[in-house]
Amino acid sequence: MTRKAEIGRKTKETEIFIALDIDGKGNAKLDYPVGFMSHMLNTFARHGLFDIEVRAKGDLEVDQHHIVEDTGIVFGQCFAKALGEKRGIRRSGSCLFPMDECLARAAVDISGRPFLYFDGQLSGAPFVSVPENGGHCDFQTDVIEDFWQGFVSAAGCNLHLEILRGRSDHHKIEALFKAAARALRAACEIDERAKNSIPSTKGSLPGLGDSGVIV
């Protein structure tokens, strides 16, 4: 069974293409204009063992919100498309991830019902990110919640993300991405004892329709 997806999204604000292989090795091919988010996407791929390719551009002269949120939406669409009817998956997963002084917790249920609980304990203060083409820009830490809100809305999953303790905003965000990736990895794994079953007493789970809307 091949669990791959490619989705492109183009609006007046952003142009994003993402390819996903759920059963990958953690490889990431990234052409992303926001340096810190590129680091997070690479981290997400590595810890989830997902192979991803991301190409994106957007109206950064406005701010980082549009491109980061839309990236989350397309990522979520890719997961929904790659998982299909979700036959055989474990469906839920969780991870408690320590990163130096920081401790993050993630729990996910690929239920078809989108919901995000996010408590990142972020200061709200931007920090400097150095893009590949030199110079510097301030990374807007508040867009991290926008990314995950876009993701859960498109993927149709229930995701709880929270920081239990920590000091550095960098560590908090990175620990959340690592925890989320490992929780999703566990939830997407095939359960050999139930590989021909859909993990729901309803007999089906909502998925992504051809229109790109959860149905």
**203 part of a folded domain:** no
Domain tally for the chain? 1
Does residue 142 form part of some domain? yes
Take residue 164 and report the two structure tokens written for it: 């239990």
What residues are paired with 19 via a beta bridge?
A: 6, 53
H/E element, 177:
helix 169-188
d(CA 157, CA 3): 17
Q: pTM for this one?
A: 0.91
Local confidence pLDDT in tens for the 215 residues of the chain:
789 999 999 999 999 999 999 999 999 999 999 989 999 999 999 999 999 999 999 998 888 999 999 999 999 999 999 999 999 999 999 999 999 999 999 999 999 999 999 999 999 888 765 555 554 568 899 999 999 999 999 999 999 999 999 999 999 999 999 999 999 999 999 999 988 888 887 877 776 443 344 44
- Asked, for residue 201, whether it belongs to a domain, the answer is no
The upper half-sphere exposure of residue 121, i.e. CA atoms within 13 Å in the direction of its Cβ, equals: 18
**For 91, which DSSP code?**
-
pLDDT of residue 214: 44
Degrees (nearest 5) of the Cα angle 46, 99, 109? 60
Domain containing 43: what range?
A: 4-194
The answer to whether position 158 is within a domain reads: yes
What is the CATH number for 155? 3.30.230.40
Output the pLDDT for position 187: 97
Note whether residue 93 is domain-resident: yes
Q: Is residue 147 part of a domain?
A: yes
Q: Are 87 and 192 in contact (CB under 8 A)?
A: no
CA atoms of 75 and 148, how far apart (whole Å) = 10
The one-letter amino acid code at 62 reads: V
- pLDDT at 69 (0 to 100): 96
Q: Among 16, 166, 142, 1, which Cα is nearest to 85's?
A: 1
The pairing of strands 158-165 and 92-99 is unpaired
Q: Tell me if 169 is assigned to some domain.
A: yes
Q: What is the dihedral of CA 14, 37, 106, 97, to 10 degrees?
A: 170
- The reply to whether 25 falls in a domain is yes
